Structure 1
Amino acid sequence: MKKHSIGKILILVLLMLACVTGCAKDNSKITIVGSSALQLLAEQAGNDYRLTHPSSNIVVQGGGSGTGLSQVQAGAVQIGTSDVFAETKKGIDAKKLKDYKVAVVGIVPIVNKGVGVKNVSMKQLRQIFTGKLTNWKQLGGKNVPIIVVNRSKGSGTRDSFEDIVLHKQKAIKSQEQDSNGAVKKIVDTTPGTISYISFPYANGDNIQKLSIDGVKPTNKNITTNKWQLWAYQHMYTKGEPDKKTKAFIKYMLGKKAQHDLVPKIGYLSIDDMKVTRDSDNRVIKVGK
């Protein structure tokens, strides 16, 4: 056999081996896409999971709950994360998805500290986001115009906030941001701003968390629904998950993650809730 023929055969063999290796690597990957509210927890959970499962390859991306649900429904990712029930999103066939509630997260209205307000009523909060209140002096604060910052359409956090606070009233047209991180940065640096954010992101030198009707935004108040602004953090799979994805979700629902990791990052374990909600945000069960 000629030397150049042998060389070609060797190259083909190497290419085949590379393909097999690459495919095996791809098959080990779990891609998680969706809710930015769940992103912090998912990323840390992925890192912790790799310590005991070194061959795992978990990739976490944001994009919003709508993106997560559409991507998992299309089979483009193994897990789609969402702040809202799949049943509430247009274009999503919830019957084809399997729902795993892995945590609860609080949502809190935040303002730039310069506005001089620390507490609002639920009615006042609604009036701010529908444009009926336009200056902080109307709420006992400084003579500073109210600048509303909303989340982008497709955000599960926005859906939850508007469903609980606005009661189907239309939000005022305002600038929109596509992630908790972007909201935090703007409110922290821009006088007069108000928005809402998930508990784990609600910090910053110039950020003031607002109480509502005198109730403080704490995880303890969420467990009894005294603080009403909260949402389940869902991980959805398309039907029954494959073996590697199922193992990771089992870890997410296990005692180590629920009792150590989840509260450490600022979320609330499903096990700590004394109430449950349905897809219409109605409290349907009160525990002990």
Structure 2
Amino acid sequence: MLGFLAVAGVALLAGCGRGDSGQSITAVGSSALQPLVEAAAEQYQTDHLGVFINVQGGGTGTGLSQIQQRAVEIGNSDLFAEEKPGINAKKLVDHRVAVVGITPIANPGVGVRNLSIVQLRRLFTGEITNWKQVGGKDLPVVVVNRAQGSGTRTTFEKWVLQDRQPLAAQEQDSTGMVRSIVASTPGAVSYVAFSYVDDTVKALALNGVTPTDQHVTTNAWPIWSYEHMYTRGQPTGLTKDFVTYMMAPSTQKRLVAKMGYIPVTSMKVERDAAGNVVQKAAE
């Protein structure tokens, strides 16, 4: 009898991992997407004992280059692979797991709540050097950029700078560090994903349009991007299971929306890698 119970106990423990025990994968890239993937990985690991999902940042450029080199199982990106020089998009499979809005943020002391898109562009090209030039306080403008390779930076510059040369300014790899610098530096301005905005910084409206999820879904707020999880070819095993979990309706409802991201299913428009926007077909 004891022997039977021992065998049954081993079988039960083996079943707890749902066949995944001992497996591990790594997802690297976009810092804008990182909090969502970390939260999903933590929940997935709780539901599937014995697996490990290692989530790292490093930026979109890192995510795409690492997945192209097969160094990781998932490359997280704020951009279509086609937008990134040196990446062979034909060898990658795109899984769009969310949409993220990107907003300019400023130190709360600048005295500005709304800018035109042209004013914002001129702040980041260095043509406007003092906040009083746009109706704010007499404070020098301090531009803080994300580092080269950041998908957030590429998206911001694509829709705001529109091929103008950005001002040479300090650069930060981490979105969290950008927010911290803007919050503590008089006159500072930068840009972050909606999910990073808190009470320490001021999100700026553009042309009277506020940075909200609803405005992103209709493209009334144009600074947004899909959040992609790229795999090298069709995913298999744990990678396939985790990507499927990320895109499941229950995950989209429980995690994506609650963490400040926008479910892809909420979008009323679609945008391709070239930036063309069309009304989304009725589902």
TM-score under structure 1 length normalisation:
0.89
Separation in 2 of the partners of 1:257 and 1:125?
35
Q: Do the aligned partners of 2:124 and 2:143 also contact (CA within 8 Å) in 1? A: yes
After TM superposition, the structure 1 = structure 2 runs for residues 203-222 of structure 1, keeping only pairs within 5 Å, are 203-205=198-200, 207-222=201-216
Separation in 1 of the partners of 2:155 and 2:88?
19
Separation in 1 of the partners of 2:138 and 2:281?
45
After TM superposition, the structure 1 = structure 2 runs for residues 88-107 of structure 1, keeping only pairs within 5 Å, are 88-107=83-102
Q: Using the TM superposition, give the Cα deviation of residue 56 of structure 1 relative to its aligned residue in structure 2, in angstroms.
A: 1.6
Aligned position for 1:255: 249
Question: Does 1:275 pair with 2:230?
Answer: no
Q: Using the TM superposition, give the Cα deviation of residue 259 of structure 1 relative to its aligned residue in structure 2, in angstroms.
A: 1.3
SS of residue matched to 1:264: coil
Aligned position for 2:48: 53
Q: Do the aligned partners of 1:117 and 1:140 also contact (CA within 8 Å) in 2? A: yes
Cα distance change of structure 1 residues 119 and 219 upon mapping to structure 2, 3 Å threshold: same
Query: What is the RMSD of the two structures over their aligned residues, measured on CA atoms?
Result: 1.5
Q: Do the aligned partners of 1:188 and 1:204 also contact (CA within 8 Å) in 2? A: no
Aligned position for 2:145: 150
SS of residue matched to 2:32: coil
Aligned position for 1:16: none
| One-letter amino acid of the structure 1 residue matched with residue 166 of structure 2 | A
Question: Does 1:239 pair with 2:236?
Answer: no
| One-letter amino acid of the structure 1 residue matched with residue 143 of structure 2 | V
Q: Using the TM superposition, give the Cα deviation of residue 281 of structure 1 relative to its aligned residue in structure 2, in angstroms.
A: 2.0
Q: Using the TM superposition, give the Cα deviation of residue 286 of structure 1 relative to its aligned residue in structure 2, in angstroms.
A: 3.8
Separation in 2 of the partners of 1:99 and 1:55?
27
Question: Does 1:79 pair with 2:74?
Answer: yes
Task: In structure 1, list runs of 5 or more residues that go unmatched.
Answer: 1-24
Task: In structure 2, list runs of 5 or more residues that go unmatched.
Answer: 1-19
Separation in 1 of the partners of 2:176 and 2:276?
29
Q: Using the TM superposition, give the Cα deviation of residue 26 of structure 1 relative to its aligned residue in structure 2, in angstroms.
A: 10
Please identify the structure whose Cα radius of gyration is greater: 1
Aligned position for 1:181: 176
Q: Using the TM superposition, give the Cα deviation of residue 179 of structure 1 relative to its aligned residue in structure 2, in angstroms.
A: 1.6
Percent identical pairs in the alignment equals 52
| One-letter amino acid of the structure 2 residue matched with residue 223 of structure 1 | T
Question: Does 1:164 pair with 2:162?
Answer: no
Q: Do the aligned partners of 1:126 and 1:165 also contact (CA within 8 Å) in 2? A: yes
Q: Do the aligned partners of 1:33 and 1:62 also contact (CA within 8 Å) in 2? A: yes
* Alignment coverage as a number of residue pairs: 264
Question: Does 1:137 pair with 2:132?
Answer: yes
